Amino acid sequence: MTAPLRMGVIGIDHRHIYTMAGHMQAAGAELAGWWTDGTPGTLDGFVRRFPEAPRVAAMDALLDDPGIDLILTAAVPCDRPAIALRAMAAGKDVMSDKPGCLTLDQLAALRAEVARTGRIWSVDFSERFEVPSVTAAAELVAEGAIGRVIQTIGLGPHRLNRPSRPDWFFDPARNGGILTDIGSHQIDQFLVFGGLSTAEITLASTANRANPGDPAFRDFGQVALKAPGIDGYVRLDWFTPDGLPTWGDGRLFLLGTEGTIELRKYVDAGRSDRSDTLILTNGTRCETIDARDAGLPYFARLIDDIRNRTETAMPQEHPFNVMEMAIRAQAMADAAD
């Protein structure tokens, strides 16, 4: 029997670490230990979910452990690239929460370290990798159910939850800004469903509509994308109302030459609290599909990639290209602000 892949966690500052580690465990990985700086608000929730994993005194205890294959990080976003670089230099592969980096200089350093070490630098774009309906949509598109995709519209609303947000959340120098952060999800999906490696950014803008006490914070953002034969539009915001039974009514619309797909990822607002509703229309079908059981293949594939040095979870160039586009979109919006 193959021994389970062992992973360590460095930085638990964002709640995404709960699902990153949890899905890896469900795929067969073992959480060997974790370290984080101080006492972030996520601490109690992490310990409750992973009581069997020891907290080590310093991150070097994980980096120096030859039995650990993978480092997960959901540290403060500005700290994630340095953690990834140290991990790769220590011979570990890396799964980072998004955004995986905030600047082009950080991105260049990550590219260089991957080239130097041959390690895997993966980013968990959770609005794709942790959403079964996106798995189902990808399968339908691959089967030709809607023909060639010619437009995507990605909506990424989020609940602000101001009382629970740490100071770094409101500082774009530490979190990257709305386009680098949550915009990376939507850029990822545009590239994947368009079968693209990169695209042109034709519009990028942000605004602070309702948080004057945090003048550097942007609570609204939009991006338009273009490549040969396909266009994309992204809308992002921090305005999810309290009446919605989840953190955001995230949706993805795919327009194809022979049909359409709509994903109501987290809730079917006004109709059902159920997640992962997929609506398909084409020349012969017009139906609503419960896609909750479509699976989350990214995590098991990443384990296989670590063992076999393959790229089945996603091509190594993909997270580099997504983050470069997100950073450039943010810079374009900042320059016009």
What does pTM read for this prediction?
Answer: 0.97
Do 6-124+297-310 and 128-295+329-336 show the same overall fold?
A: no
Residue pair 251/144 in contact by the 8 Å Cβ criterion: no
**pLDDT computed for residue 249 by the predictor:** 98
Range 6-124+297-310 classified under CATH 2.40.30.20? no
| Contact of 174 with 147, CB cutoff 8 Å | no
- What token pair was written down for 319? 């997270």
Q: Looking at residue 99, what is its pLDDT?
A: 98
Q: What is the pLDDT of residue 1?
A: 62
Domain ranges of the chain: 6-124+297-310, 128-295+329-336
- How far apart CA 304 and CA 212 sit, in angstroms, is 47
Q: How far is CA 4 from CA 69, 70, 222, 279, in A?
A: 10, 12, 42, 38
Closest among 120, 160, 157 to 308, alpha carbons compared: 120
pLDDT of 221:
98
Please state which CATH class domain 128-295+329-336 belongs to.
alpha beta
β-pairing verdict for 70-73 and 93-97: parallel
- Contact predicate 121/84, CB 8 Å: yes
Alpha-carbon span 240 to 246, nearest angstrom: 9
Mean pLDDT, contiguous 10-residue spans, the chain (337 residues): 92 98 98 98 98 97 98 98 98 98 98 98 98 98 98 98 96 98 98 98 98 97 98 98 97 98 97 97 98 98 98 98 98 95
